[in-house]
Amino acid sequence: MKIDRLTVVNIDRLYKNNTKNNIEEKEISKKGDRIEISEDAKKIRSISEDNNQYMNKDIEAIKKAINDGTYKVDTKELAKSMKDFMKGTDI
């Protein structure tokens, strides 16, 4: 294989271009990504967190009642819910 001056110049040019592209890519990656959350999304998140707090209180009250043996189940409502579920009318 014969390497002449033109080949060396082309190799040098390719190396410099590749190095330049790598430097540009690194500079772009230093800027990083940015995420913005809309005000509506922030409100929804706040409402969701409030609901979770209330649900957690209800769950804790039910757990306590079960552990104390004071939790009562409305058997008629339970039977109705089971019947509706079996029919596929209420999921």
pLDDT digits (tens, 9 = 90+) for 3-43: 555 565 667 676 666 666 555 555 555 666 778 888 888 88
Q: What pLDDT was estimated at residue 68?
A: 94
Q: What pLDDT was estimated at residue 35?
A: 83
pTM, full prediction: 0.38
Query: Is the per-residue pLDDT at 83 higher than 70?
Result: yes
What would the mean pLDDT of 48-74 be, rounded to a whole number? 88
Burial 15-52 (b: 16+ CB within 10 A, else e): eeeeeeeeeeeeeeeeeeeeeeeeeeeeeeeeeeeeee
